[in-house]
């Protein structure tokens, strides 16, 4: 440590909110360059290398072969699949000196497909799985939490190539098993959840989420074994209701009721029901958003949800991807006079007028409703007139949406879509994603091989990612306490940290002897040999902050032939005879499962 390139910091970085970010910066593992862009310092690089090694080992064990593509890529392949456009503002685009468009790869389906197309031509060449561990670039809208969501980050991505669906299923399962081994070894609590296949197209898809309060993903679980990212949860729609005999809808004056709460209390004051009070669930809330399509065009969209539910931003984003969601602003209201802020509804309740939203609308604005808004359900909703609502507007009779959208929030207690019981919610960090891509990319790029009848068939693909740099942060989210980081043995930058606590020559000599002996035993050793003006107290604090699993303190006890062995995570400590210390450390390291 007297020569190591390291400065630990006393204070948290000003922009840091989550523990991993604070501690990785304070303990000298990473250093910020720009938002979402970080440098790796010697300590951090060692942890990163360990994550990489675990992932590489397990990928090779399942038979995948490593390659490495450039990060700097030409535009053409991404034009063929339309991702040059579809990736929208998340793609880093640039041009070379001749004016050719280039990009920094956000993910590499195109390049892998073309490489296999280039070299392979027969079913006999398949199955094949290739992987790389490489830097990816995405101009994320909200880079966050240090390396947890970066704009430059390291990913392991792999791709499987098969002649048929059965082959893809086998490759998918093999990846799934490998991921289980990887995440078991990385040592955090994780769940495997059904994922939305989203913009990538394709079918079966699962995510590996590290269970963590600081995660950006919300997932649901049922006691009966259902688990999914909220983005993938589907609603069981109620059965349609026969609406013959339902009273006609009637417009009512509801001045000053632009919110659901104000509307419900006004309904109960002025239009009390006989059977029960009005509740928010009786109202149909129409939420306006502006979609920005990848080609830059903007489109207003109205989403109708039961008034007791909010629109979930992430579920909505998933549904409309690759379009992005922007707020609907006052200037947008001005441009769409049919929409009256606070009183929006599918029908204009005025003489001689009709549908404002939905299939038969005059405004041309798309109207999508929650799946619970089935034919025959009756709602209180906006009348498109300032200060007015309509009571008893019946879906399928008085209005017809353009379709349904799974954008309403999922709540604890909602039924699991597979009937396995009520859902509970928790948060997680997406660590890995496995995905049956199918033939979408192979088709677009013409990746075909001859089958055993000599006929050309399109290859089917899987795509599989692990966030390597994100894993360093995700482990740190678990492996820390108030004093600092506390790495599991498998990822720690060093096996053991020797603290030389004292200025006496005997102590210094014993310290460096111990350093040599531990290294001789094949261990990675960090020694705090900083000179006497760095007090033992400062050294202990730094050792706690850096978080190597085992510390050996060489101090005054050395005159009696004893040193102290401390375990960072549990805080356990014991005095050990200096003659036995190397063996003790070796046993502790072995016992912890690190190699
Ligand atoms: P997210 O929903 O978190 O943005 P994603 O669905 O975009 O992730 P994939 O495209 O499936 O992610 O990428 C594979 C893996 O790469 C993810 O599971 C995650 O671990 C990692 N990853 C994705 N984006 C980032 C990022 N901005 N910073 C760090 N790691 C990332
Ligand atoms: Mg993403």
Distance from residue 430's CA to the centre of ligand 1 (Å): 7
Predicted local confidence at residue 415, as pLDDT: 92
For the domain with range 250-404, which CATH number is right: 3.40.50.300, 3.40.50.80, 3.40.50.1980, 3.90.960.10? 3.90.960.10
Q: Give the H or E element holding residue 281.
A: none
Tell me, rounded to whole angstroms, the distance of Cα 527 from its chain centroid.
37
Could you tell me the CATH superfamily of domain 487-592? Anticodon-binding domain (3.40.50.800)
* CB of 109 shorter than 6 A to ligand 1: no
H-assigned helices in 461-534: 468-478, 505-520
Which residues make Cβ contacts (< 8 Å) with residue 96, sequence separation at least 6? 102
Q: 19-233+424-477 — its CATH code?
A: 3.30.930.10
Domain residue ranges of the chain, discontinuous segments joined by +: 19-233+424-477, 250-404, 487-592
CA distances from 281 to 245, 345, 423 (A): 22, 16, 20
Name the token pair of 214. Answer: 């600081």
Structure token pair of residue 44: 């951090």
Question: What residue owns the CA closest to ligand 1's atom 31?
Answer: 467
Q: Is 433 touching ligand 1 by the criterion CB < 6 Å?
A: yes
Ligand 1 centroid to residue 318 C-alpha, Å? 14
- Residue 430 CB less than 6 A away from ligand 1: yes
Q: Would you say the C-alpha torsion 18, 53, 174, 479 has a positive or negative sign?
A: negative
Shortest-distance Cα residue to atom 11 of ligand 1: 433
CA of 197 to the centre of ligand 2 (A): 12
Instruction: Decide whether any atom of ligand 1 lies within 6 Å of the 107 Cβ.
Output: yes
Ligand 1 in reach of 368 Cβ (< 6 A): no
Query: What's the 8 CA to ligand 1 centre distance in angstroms?
Result: 29
Residue 544 to residue 527: CA distance in whole angstroms: 14
Q: Determine the residue of 467, 469, 477 to mutate for testing ligand 1's pocket, defined as the one with the most ligand atoms within 8 A of the Cβ atom.
A: 467
As averages over each run of 10 residues, the pLDDT of the chain (595 residues) reads 94 89 96 96 98 98 98 96 90 96 96 97 96 97 90 98 96 97 93 74 80 92 92 91 90 91 93 94 95 90 95 93 91 87 84 74 87 94 91 92 94 91 95 94 96 96 97 95 95 97 92 96 96 92 97 94 95 94 93 65
Residue owning the nearest CA to atom 1 of ligand 1: 430
Give the atom of ligand 1 at the shortest distance from the alpha carbon of 435.
11
The ligand whose atoms approach the alpha carbon of 430 most closely is 1
Residue 290 burial (C-beta neighbours within 10 Å; 0-12, 13-18, 19+) = middle
Residues 152 and 140: their CA atoms lie apart, in Å, by 9
Coil, strand, or helix at residue 119?
A: helix
Please, which contacts does 246-249 make with residues 24 or more away whose CB atoms are closer than 8 Å? Answer: 246/376, 246/378, 246/392, 246/394, 246/397, 247/392, 248/392, 249/347, 249/349, 249/390, 249/391, 249/392, 249/393, 249/394, 249/398
Tokens of 238: 């109620």
Q: Using a 6 Å cutoff on CB, does residue 580 contact ligand 1?
A: no
């Amino acid at each position: 440590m007297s020569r190591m390139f390291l400065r630990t910091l006393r204070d948290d970085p000003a922009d840091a909110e989550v523990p991993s970010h604070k501690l990785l910066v304070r303990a000298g593992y990473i250093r910020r360059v720009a938002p979402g862009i970080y440098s790796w310092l010697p300590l951090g690089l060692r942890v990163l290398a360990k994550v990489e090694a675990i992932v590489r080992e397990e990928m090779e064990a399942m038979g995948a072969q490593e390659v490495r593509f450039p990060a700097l890529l030409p535009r053409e392949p991404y034009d063929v699949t339309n991702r040059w456009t579809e990736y929208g503002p998340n793609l880093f685009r640039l041009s070379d000196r001749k004016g050719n468009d280039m990009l920094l790869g956000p993910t590499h389906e195109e390049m892998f497909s073309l490489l296999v197309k280039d070299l392979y031509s027969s079913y006999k060449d398949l199955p094949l799985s290739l992987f790389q561990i490489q830097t990816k670039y995405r101009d994320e809208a909200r880079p966050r939490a240090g390396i947890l969501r970066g704009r430059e980050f390291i990913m392991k991505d792999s791709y499987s190539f098969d002649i048929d669906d059965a082959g893809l299923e086998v490759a998918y399962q093999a990846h799934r098993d490998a991921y289980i081994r990887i995440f078991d070894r990385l040592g955090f609590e994780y769940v495997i959840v059904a994922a939305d296949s989203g913009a990538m197209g394709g079918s079966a898809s699962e995510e590996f989420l590290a269970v963590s309060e600081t995660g950006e993903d919300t997932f649901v679980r049922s006691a009966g074994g259902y688990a999914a990212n909220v983005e993938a949860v589907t609603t069981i729609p109620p059965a349609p209701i026969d609406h013959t005999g339902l009273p006609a809808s009637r417009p009512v004056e509801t001045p000053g009721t632009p919110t659901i709460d104000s509307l419900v209390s006004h309904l109960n004051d002025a239009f009390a029901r006989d059977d029960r009070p009005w509740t928010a669930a009786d109202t149909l809330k129409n939420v306006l958003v502006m979609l920005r399509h990848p080609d830059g065009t903007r489109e207003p969209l109205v989403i109708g949800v039961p008034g007791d539910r909010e629109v979930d931003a992430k579920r909505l984003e998933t549904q409309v991807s690759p379009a992005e969601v922007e707020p609907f602003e006052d200037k947008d209201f001005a441009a769409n006079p049919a929409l009256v802020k606070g009183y929006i509804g599918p029908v204009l309740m005025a003489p001689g007028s009709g549908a404002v939203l939905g299939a038969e609308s005059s405004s041309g604005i798309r109207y999508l409703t929650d799946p619970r808004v089935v034919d025959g359900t009756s709602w209180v909703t906006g009348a498109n007139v300032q200060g007015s609502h309509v009571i008893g507007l019946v879906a399928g009779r008085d209005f017809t949406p353009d379709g349904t959208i799974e954008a309403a929030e999922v709540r604890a207690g909602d039924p699991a879509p597979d009937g396995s019981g009520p859902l509970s919610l928790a948060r997680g960090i997406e660590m890995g994603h496995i995905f049956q891509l199918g033939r979408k990319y192979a088709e677009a790029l013409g990746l075909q091989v001859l089958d055993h009848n000599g006929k050309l068939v399109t290859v089917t693909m899987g795509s599989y990612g692990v966030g390597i740099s994100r894993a360093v942060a995700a482990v740190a989210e678990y492996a820390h306490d108030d004093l600092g980081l506390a790495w599991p043995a498998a990822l720690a930058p060093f096996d053991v940290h020797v603290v030389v606590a004292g200025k006496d020559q005997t102590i210094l000599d014993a310290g460096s002897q111990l350093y040599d002996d531990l290294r001789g035993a094949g261990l990675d050793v960090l020694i705090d040999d900083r000179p006497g003006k760095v007090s033992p107290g400062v050294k202990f604090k730094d050792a706690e902050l850096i978080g190597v699993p085992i510390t050996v303190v060489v101090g005054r006890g050395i005159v009696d032939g004893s040193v102290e062995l401390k375990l960072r995570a549990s805080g356990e400590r014991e005095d050990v005879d200096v003659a036995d210390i190397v063996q003790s450390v070796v046993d502790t390291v072995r016992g912890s499962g690190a190699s």
